[in-house]
Amino acid sequence: MYWNPAAECMPRPQLAELQLERLKSVVERVYYNVPFYRHAFQDKGLEPGDIKSLDDLRYLPFTTKQDLRDNYPYGMFAVPLSEIVRVHASSGTTGKPTVVGYTRKDLNTWSELMARTLTCGGTTKDSVIQIAYGYGLFTGGLGAHYGAERIGASVIPISGGNTKRQIMLMKDFGTTVLACTPSYAIYLAEVMKEMDIEPGELKLKYGIFGAEPWSENMRKEIEDQLGISAIDIYGLSEIIGPGVASECQCKNGLHIFEDHFIPEIIDPVTQETLPYGQPGELVFTTITKEGIPVIRYRTRDISFLYPEVCACGRTHIRMGRITGRTDDMLIIRGVNVFPSQVESVLLEIGETEPHYQLIVDRIGNLDELKILVEVSENMFSDKIGGLEHLEKTIHDRIEAVLNISAKVKLVEPKTIPRSEGKAVRVIDNRKI
Ligand code: DLL
């Protein structure tokens, strides 16, 4: 049930003591080894010795993705390149990727954290785990791989794509755990149906899904279609990759591995630290990483923290499911809209397929949101009246929940592009 009970269930006072000791050490390391941090500390009149309690974290400077870009490729590394044994990078939508480096100790930590994550999701030594996250510069594939090997599960390092072959191997090799993005899981379920394979013919039991926002309704959909239990895992390259936080079998928030990362929630505008329970931007400080430690990294992800000890016995603080990113948030006619809210409404109505896309245009001075949703083969060949009725139902429900009037267009099955990695849910054509 636990991979490392001593760490995962550590009493809070002991955990806080460990965090403080590690925080002091990382502050010292970045101050002396990373010019960016030395200057940022000096700008605030801070020296490493000023950090005397965990509360003092709030005085430290933030780090942003732009800071990593400005120091591309290796400027933020805190050790010489000769100590780096692995490099990963996140693609990013614009310009150069963000580069991160791992020392041998970092890889060891990452494997430990991914072993915890996969154990949370039901993986054991006896599991056969199919890793359909992309292998390469993306952290998903290799991150899950090392964690699964650490546990001693039988690893199928298939990477993303080649969907029919994935399903054939899943059946023939007796895969019990599937690790991929939630949107790829739903696509796998769709192709399985086309191949006339019933979930009962597979041995699949657990899904370890993350790397993109998904809703509780999407979880139900995947669990029903694949006949599995699905958990949400969270992470980002800048912090370590996957292995920052994971749901346990209680499926009530994601445990942040606090012996390695200190989380905060801030107001993205005022940058003030917010109390537990309040939603805002997640910020992490890595306290054990050697290659590229980061202080108060602004993730842009929106969540909230709750410190109550979980029924599973883990003491590490939980974060709520990510509801969106500050930079994914669409502001449409002044209303804040997250794609995951639309997803939730669509799946709740339930008469469409879980494939959708949001298209935003500016017509004259007005924003227009169009929601494309696929319907099933039967539905599409049905009477036009039925489709119109469904469009109206979705339109009205979106209006009631999101307070925005959207044009809903039902489209034929399989017309919205499928993703093998992170899904593209939004096309914003506005030139602002
Ligand atoms: O996506 C690491 C990862 C791989 C996590 C596999 C989980 C599983 P990046 O490519 O750097 O790293 O993207 C990080 O993805 O800031 C979030 O916006 C988003 N994200 C990751 N996990 C979740 C999740 C990997 N469970 C960015 N729910 C993050 C919502 C997620 N969003």
Residues lower than pLDDT 50 in the chain: none
pLDDT digit string, tens, across residues 314-350: 999 999 999 888 877 788 887 888 898 999 999 999 8
The domain ranges of the chain are 1-325, 330-428
Fold adopted by 1-325: Rossmann fold (3.40.50)
Q: In the prediction, which pLDDT does 47 show?
A: 97
Query: What is the pLDDT at residue 377?
Result: 81
* 3-state secondary structure string across 309-340: CCCCCCCCCEECCCCEECCCCEEECCEEECHH
Residue 307: DSSP 8-state: -
d(CA 214, CA 186): 11
Return the SS3 of 91: coil
pLDDT tens profile 308-319: 999 999 999 999
Ligand 1 nearest atom to the CA of residue 422, by list position: 1
CB distance 284 to ligand 1 below 6 Å: no
The Cα 223–Cα 39 span in angstroms is: 49
Residue 237 CA: nearest ligand 1 atom is 11
Model pTM score: 0.92
pLDDT at position 429:
92
- Choose the residue to mutate in 236, 238, 294 for probing ligand 1, maximizing ligand atoms within 8 Å of C-beta: 236
Pairwise CA distance, residues 161 & 134, whole Å: 8
Most ligand 1 atoms within 8 A of CB, residue of 234, 240, 286, 327 to mutate: 234
Task: Identify the CA nearest to 70 among candidates 46, 40, 102, 42.
Answer: 40
Q: What is the mean pLDDT of the chain?
A: 94
Q: Give the residue carrying structure tokens 């709030």.
A: 58
CATH of domain 330-428: 3.30.300.30
